[in-house]
Amino acid sequence: MSKSLLFIPDISGYTKFIQTTEIEHSQHVISELLEVLVNANTQGLKLAEIEGDALFFYKENEVPSQENLLAQIESMFTAFYSHLKMLEKNRICPCNACATAPNLQLKIIAHSGHLQHIEVQGNRKPFGEQVIEAHRLLKNSVDSDNYTLVSRKLALDIMLSPYYSSKIFRFRQGSDSYDGKEVEYIYSIIDPGELQLRSFVQPKTITFDDPPQVVIEQEFPTSAENLMESITNYSFRPNWQEGVDKLEFNENEVTRLGTEHTCVVNGKLLDFVTITKETEPGRLIYGELTHNHPLFDDFYLFYIFIPISEEKCLLRAEFHWESKSLLRKLIGKLLGKKLVRKSSAQAIQSLLKFIESQ
């Protein structure tokens, strides 16, 4: 029987992150990062289990070459830190989970050995001494939370020198004792600054030459942060936005700049993207843009959250629109303001009742 690869990416700082931040958004962030790591699997690794903050991969009866293993490790670190950079740059949510997500780090454990398997409810999973040893290596004396560790066994299998050095990797030797047995390994601290992070779309801040065509203001008996969550969490929309037949959005994603959602209102399909514009210091802002409004070519809606006290805030809704054809411009001029003001005022009053019922 040939040796197999055991491969465990583990998110460092997970426990503190979950325990000290808003639970729903922290779960979304971790879920996104785990999905990013799964999608960065370039070596056909099998996912045995999701272990809270870690993924347990294996490759049965095959150990990748030194070149392929290092490329796989680099791929996951690059994907992980590229996503964290995107979360940081496109963030609109003020909560602690979204604010501190960029502080998360990654460690990857790689080991090799002969695998046994156990079957649980029809699922075949790796089992045995090598699996235990790979997981024990997560608890080591490496003085970092951002590194890759390759067991001595695996390093010998792929002829990876303990002195291997490149732009990304600078390996050194280490060992720890587990149940009285000394286990040797090599490890490399990973510097995110040396990774070739992937580019991502960073929406521009919207600017207007003219003031908004419609403005509606309403006080709410809740904090600005809580009201923002009630509006940006799309699962709440049917509770206060009348005529919503269907909402399509990624339930495992925190709303941020560039986030998309589709809303079917009274049978009409509207595609929205999250945008922003400049606002005064101390205020929160969330914006949406759609290009398929029934009356306008481009329809912009901004919610500005102005704190009054810890339990009270002012919501200012601003509406801008643009039309290209003369017919649409005429319709917008004759009916636009009246229709937008009426429907939006109704929605804000429904939102107020929803907040008061919480």
Domain positions in the chain: 4-194, 214-356
When pLDDT is cut at 50, 70 and 90, the band that residue 21 belongs to is low
What does the pLDDT average to over 134-147?
A: 95
Please give the pLDDT value at position 25.
87
CATH topology for 4-194?
Answer: Alpha-Beta Plaits (3.30.70)
pLDDT grade for 188, boundaries at 50, 70 and 90: very high
At 15, the pLDDT band (50, 70, 90 cuts) reads confident
Residue 122 has pLDDT above 80, yes or no: no
pLDDT digits (tens, 9 = 90+) for 227-243: 999 999 998 998 898 88
Give pLDDT, residue 318. Answer: 97
What's the chain look like in SS3? CCCEEEEEEEEECHHHHHHHCCHHHHHHHHHHHHHHHHHCCCCCCEEEEECCCEEEEEECCCCCCHHHHHHHHHHHHHHHHHHHHHHHHCCCCCCHHHHHHHHCEEEEEEEEECCEEEEECCEEEEECHHHHHHHHCCCCCCCCCCEEEEEHHHHHHCCCCCCCECCCCECEEEEEEECCEEEEEEEEECCHHHCCCCCCCCCCCECCCCCCCEEEEEEECCCHHHHHHHHHCHHHHHHCCCCEEEEECCCCCCCCCCCEEEEEECCEEEEEEEECECCCCCCEEEEEEECCCCCCCEEEEEEEEEEEECCEEEEEEEEEEECCCHHHHHHHHHHHHHHHHHHHHHHHHHHHHHHHCC
Mean pLDDT of 165-176: 96
pLDDT band at residue 1 using 50, 70 and 90 as cut-offs: low
Given a cut of 90, whether residue 96 has pLDDT beyond it is no
Write out pLDDT tens, residues 300-314. 999 999 999 999 999
Q: Report the pLDDT averaged over residues 127-152.
A: 94
Domain 214-356 has CATH 3.40.50.2020: no
